[in-house]
Structure 1
Amino acid sequence: MNAMKINSLSALQTLALRMPGALTDSDRDLLEELYEQSLENLDDSANLFTYMLVTAMRRRLTGVQAAEHIYLQRFEIPQIRLFELLIQQFPLANLSQQCTNALLIDGLSRHQEPVLMDIGVGTGMQVVNILNGLAQHPTSAIRHLTIVGIEPFEDALASAQETISGLGASLPFTISFVAKQAFIEQVSLADLQQSLPSRHDGVYANASFALHHIQRAEARKQVFTNLKELPVQALVLSEPNSDHYEPNYGKRFRNCVNHYGALFNLIDQLSIADKERAALKLFFGREINDVLGNPEGQRVEKHYATQQWVDLFRETGFQLHKRPVHLPALALNGAHIFTNLPDRYATAFQGEEITSLFWAE
């Protein structure tokens, strides 16, 4: 980390402690100075990170989203390519999905008519990987699998249904897809129960990087309670390890810098084109913009730190288990999977837990 980055982050942290209502005129002048300084060389990773932090802080002060700097506009890439980069090259996403998929495949394969309830199913790519894994499982007992896809966005849900249903003919078991267009916190226990087939012998819920979008703590607790009472055989949860639910701006700024700073350092190590490296940073930069740029009532990236998820599991009657499973890979592009934690798996970078992977019964 170079001196410019250290000095900028130190100054921004001091300003963040007084954000948003206690900044002096000289504080605001300093913020503008740091903004102008960051623009001097956006090819520099430290400058780009500072630019994203300052841009978010300026937005929080003014309530206005500034136009993205013209330099950054040339790094836009098709969304499908961005998702490919995240899953194939960005090791935290890749390793997380490999781990949770292995856990789910192992659990589902022991049943004849299980249900996979995917919360935030998106376009269904993770479910497709799970189905292919089940098709190749040497001792799978599955005869019929029901997939319940819960997703708030109509286009994504329609794409998931088409993609998953189209895969059915190539599988050694039959499948059915139940589409539920809703935010999970708006789905009652009765609605969850009605989405299940009349015959099934086990329900597994998967939530990959979805539940931190639930805005209120009490709503998160209700979702966990509903799943426990359904009941699910297991809730498999993947979430970043950083407290961005924190309402105090100064503390949230520190958490944000630590988390996204690590992600940017990891991206810098990837053997990909500069344009793709910048595109990944812009993807996470938009999360920074939400964490630091939106007022409390409008933020959506409200991540919990690991211990907060652990506490929520315990409050709602779940028990965490370190389910033994064969993992296809333990390391990728500078990141690796922690396998020595007592109650979970995790992806890690430079010895720090970045993403927590839970199996809860």
Structure 2
Amino acid sequence: MISNRSALRFPWGAEFRAISAACLVCGIGYLALKSDRGDFEIFGRLDVLVVSVFSAVPISVLMADQIARKSKIVRFGLVALLALIVVSQIGVWRILLYEFGMSAVALSIVRGALAVITMTLPLACLNVFKTLVAGGDRIEKSSLVPALFVVVAVSIPGVYVDSVSKTLASQLRQSLSNDRPTVALGHARRLSQLRPQTRIDGLAIVSLLDSLDDRIDQLNAIVRRPISPTAPTGAIAMRVTSLVQLELFDQALVGLKPLLSGERFHPASLDVYGLCFQRLGDPESSLVGYQMAIQYWTAQIESNQKRQSLASAWKGIAFAARQLDQRSMEEHAYQQLLNVAPNASNCLLMAKCYKHHQKMDLAAKYASQAFELDPASRSELDSITSELARDHFGCLSGVR
């Protein structure tokens, strides 16, 4: 019985060659991205590179197969041409990214093309030393197949990059909101490589990068400045704040010691103490700092500063409780937070807490309160309401 050999299959042994070539390209790309040399800057992150490379495998195998069928001179000429293109791209992509301001669609096409060329080169080199078996498994000669492979090589990485870019933009805004310029700079750099036309709150990503670089330079200048043991409290506080913003939490804790007790005691140091340990991933020590802040501020007379400080400390306690899986403590902390600052944002925090604890009725209650205070929180209310409906449906589905 004659088998149908016209089905879509790669040449014999192509699977091994394709995987080897993909691993080689991803390995080189990883080293290039890690060194920040700019060779693979258009991919921005390793996961984007991996998705792009493996999406390019089908069309690259097809192209390498066609190259292998040419004469020796043509083969070596095509391989040399591909090598020249790959080497020359180092400076070209930077110009395309930052000088001409390519659109998202154009970037997806360029990114896909680069992945295809970079993948085809090692495959073609392997095929030069591998003679294809006549009559072996081949890709059918159809104009539709290469077109589909091209669509795969461009569209899959394009969709993935769009998702990654949205996540990076959200993380960037969160970092800016939390006054973490070093973290924000990392997100902004990756985002500028993936979507150089992005604007964050109306500011072009390139301008934001310059602003963050200047800010970090200023903070480093403050940190490098010598400080006397007898320096005033304000100077010590500025240095500690700069260290925190530079993510140098161990050094910040050392500089914070004079402000935690004695004549130089400053109540804000208790909150900073808790924050440093929170970001160092030590919830037990973080909890101690925030509890000391609560103890201090509870004994003070009513003022805006007291309310703001208590709100910050209760948020810190709730965060530490979440890390320690102390659910009752977390719920109590958010209740106290609402007593101090009953606004929409804090109602949403309470709702998310109850949602995490699977107390959906209470979550819906506080999400509704948040919506009443701020209609912009409607999306969170809809999310909790729909999840509540699914939970109730699940309970009913078990009745027989």
TM-score interval w.r.t. the shorter chain? under 0.3
Q: Which has the higher strand share?
A: 1
Q: Which has the larger radius of gyration?
A: 2
Q: Which has the higher helix share?
A: 2
Q: What is the TM-score normalised by the length of structure 2?
A: 0.23
